[in-house]
Structures are given as structure tokens and as C-alpha cells.
Structure 1
């Protein structure tokens, strides 16, 4: 009887060790690895959604909605009164061309200030885009 009790004890001990090893592996490595992998992927997906949402919102705010079709250059004297200078081109279709002409006019007429203006649809007055 001693041998059979000894074998039962050994088999029972081996069974407990095996089950505890399986439980430790299951709850200590397998489940945490799957859960952390899942949350890592979900976190990456949330970050990607936030990046695209921010980029879309920035794109909507950053692009000009109503671009003027025509620009004009207005000259001012040293007292701030609007004046007409003969021989100057004042009507333009392109912002960059108007800005280039305005810089040249400032060099040619240092005692005058110049403003690039345009009519915007929502305003009664002309909007000044650049002033030098």
C-alpha cells in the first residue's frame, strides 16, 4: 500500500504542477500578449483616425474659400490721403504680380505708401491684403 499511496501522491503532484504551469502560461503570457496586441492595434487605429481628422479639419480651414478675381493697388501720400499717380498700373488679376508691382512702385516712389486691395463678396469695403 505504501507504493500505491506514493504513486498517487507523485501523480497528484505532477498533475498540480502541470495544471499550475498551464495556468501560469495562460494568464501570465498568452492572454496578456493577445490583449496588449489588440489594444496596441486599436490605439494605432485611433491615432490614424485622429491624424486624418486633424488633416481634414486643417485643410478645410487653411484653403481660401473666396479668392478675389481682381486686385488693385492704391497709393497714399505722406499724410495718408489716397492719391492717383500717373503712369502706374493699378489693376491686376494675380496676387503675386500685384505684389511685385507694388514693391517696385515703393522703390520708385519712396514718399508714398501702397496698399493691395480687392473686393470681397461679404464686405461693403475693399479688403487690404498687403500694405507697404
Structure 2
């Protein structure tokens, strides 16, 4: 075998080509699929936790800031004459349990008795005077 044949031995080239192809395939799979797959999976899960954490923080802060409303148990409609003094109209109902019903009756009373004004009042726990909720 001469020197030229020893340098250009085809088995050496085959092993070199196989090594280069397999290494490049390994690198292509590593950087093309494995690493991006792991990074994308991490950020997908991390994003879910960030969104869930944000929702929980918002819900917790809303829960701390929300105060239960102490609604009055009863409402009264107070008729007020043209001089600004409380008056009594015998034919009307003045005691109510709900705000909406009292407001509805007040609107009807205003149509029936146009020379009177009406105040929707209730006793609130922290106040000595009745609180006016609506006035027409």
C-alpha cells in the first residue's frame, strides 16, 4: 500500500462522516427540540402560576376591602308639607321592610299628593338621627 492510499483510506472517511453526522444530529435535536421544549414547558407552567397568583391576590385583596353592608331592617316614608314641616297623612302606609317597596310607594304618593314632599328614612345603628336615603 502506498502512502497515498493510506492517507485516503475510505474507512477513515466513513467513520469521520458518521461521527460528524451523528454529532450534528445530536446537536440539532438538542438545540432544536429538547432545550426549547424544556424552556417552553417551564414558561408555560410559570405563566399559569403567575396568572393563578394574580387572581388569588386580587380575590384576597377584594375580600379584605369588601365590607358587609348593614342594611336597615325597616324603612319609613315621612311626608313633608309645603312649609318644610313633617306632617301626617292618615291614608298612606308609612312603614316598610324593603327599600324598593318604600321607594315605589313614595313615587305613587308624590303623584297622589303633589303638594307634599316625601323622605325615605331609616334608623342606622351608628347615628342618633334617622338617615334619609331618598327625598322627592
Q: TM-score, normalised by structure 1?
A: 0.74
Pair 34,123 (structure 1): closer, same or farther in 2 beyond 3 Å: farther
SS of equivalent residue, structure 1 residue 104: helix
For residues 18-75 of structure 1, what are the alpha-carbon distances to aligned partners after superposition, in whole Å with 9 as ceiling and x for unaligned?
2222222222222222322232233223323433543565466567431111111123
- With over 3 angstroms needed to count, the CA separation of the structure-2 counterparts of 1:122 and 1:94, relative to structure 1, is same
* SS of equivalent to 2:131: strand
1:40 aligns with 2:44: yes
Whole-Å separation in 1 of the counterparts to 2:22 and 2:49: 39
The alignment of Structure 1 onto Structure 2 pairs a total of residues equal to 130
- The CA RMSD measured in Å over matched residues stands at 2.7
Residue 86 of structure 2 corresponds to residue 83 of structure 1: yes
Contact 1:74 1:82 in 2 (8 A): no
1:111 matched to 2:111: no
Contact 2:96 2:102 (8 Å CA) reproduced: yes
Give the whole-Å Cα distance in 1 for the aligned partners of 2:38 and 2:85. 74
Residue in structure 2 matching 1:123, options 108, 127, 132: 127
The TM-score with structure 2 as length reference comes to 0.73
Contact 2:81-2:116 within 8 A present in 1 as well: yes
Give unpaired runs (5+ residues) of structure 1: none
- Distance in 2, Cα, partners of 1:61 & 1:90: 35
Q: Could you tell me which residue of structure 2 aligns to residue 11 of structure 1? A: 15
